């Protein structure tokens, strides 16, 4: 096949995303991405559905033409494009952007602390009724193995998909038994561990991680973890319409205050005053509670110029500046205008 005379088409699950000084191609099928020059992004946006010969005709300099040829070699080698006849182009529509989640809440973080255990057990029932799928149980204070066991056991027959647990280092708690008993546990993170006690364990479907970081410091770390950046269709679609960290998230702090996230200061109610899922739903489905859910990266200063904006779970709380634009008080550790990461 003479590819030069064929029409090239970008695979629908390979999405070019433009940044300030460089772009990225999100491979939503293989859950990976690669950085590309902005010039290649422009070619993909302007000439998708054309032939390579038609693209080359727009460049007079031979060096530029050679660069374009190298671009297409790169695209073919990475399976980002395919070739077809002109009359076949309409058979391959672009990916339709849509995001739907049937529940009111998709994920919740609960700091177990100053309330009676019965209130937390009730809360787990409410969350299931609101459609929540992922729950993080955090124990800022000391806890017993039976306390962890009771809360996980309450979710054993629920529709909750995954459980993540954070607790302080305590040799008396048998983490292996907990993680083996409850297969829905995805990770257990042990905070405040001495270096000699740090280790990484994997048991069945769950992992045990140890860190010297104290629990109190967890919510003050706003750095984006490079290793956690991944392109997938769920996050990409959510990012087109919503904030990928705050959307449909619920946080209950150690005193039972109902908030958007651990990083948020505003309380919208008190768990002790909630007597059913309908009451909780009225709070989390209110315009005030959902205000930040729809703050997209495309509408946020700096983030809107970042090529990583559709794969980023940035936990910083957006604020409106004097001009009514969304921004952040704390700078991100990635600068899209330099393409550099800070320490």
Angle at 200 between CA 121 and CA 205, to 5 degrees: 55
Stronger pLDDT, 219 or 75, i.e. the higher one: 75
For residues 6 and 85, the answer to whether their CB atoms sit within 8 Å is: yes
For residues 271 and 115, the answer to whether their CB atoms sit within 8 Å is: yes
Structure-derived torsion over alpha carbons of residues 60, 66, 67, 73, reported in degrees to the nearest 10: 130
The reply to whether the predicted model has a pTM over 0.95 is no
**CATH number for the domain formed by residue range(s) 3-91:** 3.90.930.60
The chain-wide mean pLDDT, for the chain, equals 92
Identify the residue whose tokens are 């058979």.
Answer: 91
What pLDDT sits at residue 72? 97
What band does 206 get if pLDDT is binned at 50, 70 and 90? low
Cα(139)–Cα(256) distance, integer angstroms: 13
Q: Has residue 26 got a pLDDT over 90?
A: yes
Determine the 3-state secondary structure of 106 from DSSP. Answer: coil
What pLDDT sits at residue 205? 54
At 230-281, the pLDDT tens digits run 899 999 999 999 999 999 999 999 999 999 999 999 999 999 999 999 999 9
Q: Has residue 32 got a pLDDT over 80?
A: yes
In 3D space, the residue among 126, 123, 131 whose CA is nearest the CA of residue 252 turns out to be 123
Q: Has residue 170 got a pLDDT over 80?
A: yes
At 57-98, the pLDDT tens digits run 999 999 999 999 999 999 999 999 999 999 999 999 999 999
For residues 253 and 262, the answer to whether their CB atoms sit within 8 Å is: yes
Cα(261)–Cα(253) distance, integer angstroms: 9
What pLDDT sits at residue 221? 72
In this structure, of 176-180, 210-214, 225-229, the range with the lowest mean pLDDT score is: 225-229
The tokens of 100 are what?
């739907």
Cβ-in-10-Å burial (0-12, 13-18, 19+) of 188 comes to buried
What pLDDT sits at residue 214? 86
At 11-24, the pLDDT tens digits run 999 999 999 999 99
What pLDDT sits at residue 1? 44
What band does 197 get if pLDDT is binned at 50, 70 and 90? low
At 280-336, the pLDDT tens digits run 999 999 999 999 999 999 999 999 999 999 999 999 999 999 888 999 999 999 999
Cα(91)–Cα(14) distance, integer angstroms: 17
DSSP 246-300: TTTEEEE-TT-BEES-TT------BGGG--SHHHHHHHHTSHHHHGGGG--GGGB
Cα(8)–Cα(82) distance, integer angstroms: 6
Q: Has residue 201 got a pLDDT over 80?
A: no
Q: Which helix (H) or strand (E) holds 191?
A: strand 185-191
Q: Has residue 165 got a pLDDT over 80?
A: yes
* All structural domains of the chain with their residue ranges: 3-91, 107-293
The tokens of 310 are what?
């559709």
Which residues are CB-neighbours of 20 under 8 A, at least 6 positions away?
305, 306, 307, 336, 337
């Amino acid at each position: 096949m003479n590819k030069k005379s064929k029409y090239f088409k970008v695979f629908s699950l390979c999405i070019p995303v433009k940044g300030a000084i460089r772009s990225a191609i999100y491979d939503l099928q293989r859950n990976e991405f690669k950085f590309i020059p902005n010039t290649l992004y422009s070619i993909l946006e302007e000439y998708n559905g054309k032939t390579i010969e038609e693209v080359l005709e727009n460049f007079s300099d031979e060096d530029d033409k050679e660069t374009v040829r190298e671009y297409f070699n790169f695209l073919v080698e990475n399976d980002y494009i395919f070739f077809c006849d002109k009359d076949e182009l309409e058979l391959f529509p672009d990916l339709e952007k849509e995001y739907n989640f049937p529940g009111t809440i998709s994920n919740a973080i609960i700091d177990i602390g100053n309330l009676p255990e019965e209130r937390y057990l009730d809360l787990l029932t409410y969350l299931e009724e609101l459609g929540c799928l992922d729950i993080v149980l955090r124990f800022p204070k000391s806890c017993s193995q039976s306390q962890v066991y009771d809360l996980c056991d309450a979710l054993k027959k629920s529709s909750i998909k995954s459980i993540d647990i954070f607790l302080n280092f305590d040799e008396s708690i048998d983490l292996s038994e907990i993680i083996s008993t409850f297969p829905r546990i995805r990770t257990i993170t042990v905070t405040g561990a001495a270096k000699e006690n740090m280790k990484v364990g994997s048991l069945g479907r769950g992992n045990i991680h140890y860190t010297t970081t104290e629990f109190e410091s967890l919510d003050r770390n706003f750095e984006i973890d490079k290793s956690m950046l991944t392109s997938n269709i769920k996050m990409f679609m959510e990012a087109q319409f919503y904030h990928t960290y705050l959307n449909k998230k619920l946080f209950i702090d150690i005193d039972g205050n109902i908030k958007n996230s651990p990083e948020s200061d505003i309380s919208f109610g008190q768990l002790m005053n909630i007597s059913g899922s309908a009451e909780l739903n009225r709070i989390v489905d209110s315009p005030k509670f959902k205000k930040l859910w729809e703050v997209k990266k495309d509408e946020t200063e700096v983030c809107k110029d970042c090529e990583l904006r559709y794969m980023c779970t940035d936990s910083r709380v957006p604020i409106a500046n004097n001009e009514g634009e969304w921004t952040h008080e704390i700078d991100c550790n990635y600068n899209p205008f330099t393409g550099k990461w800070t320490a």
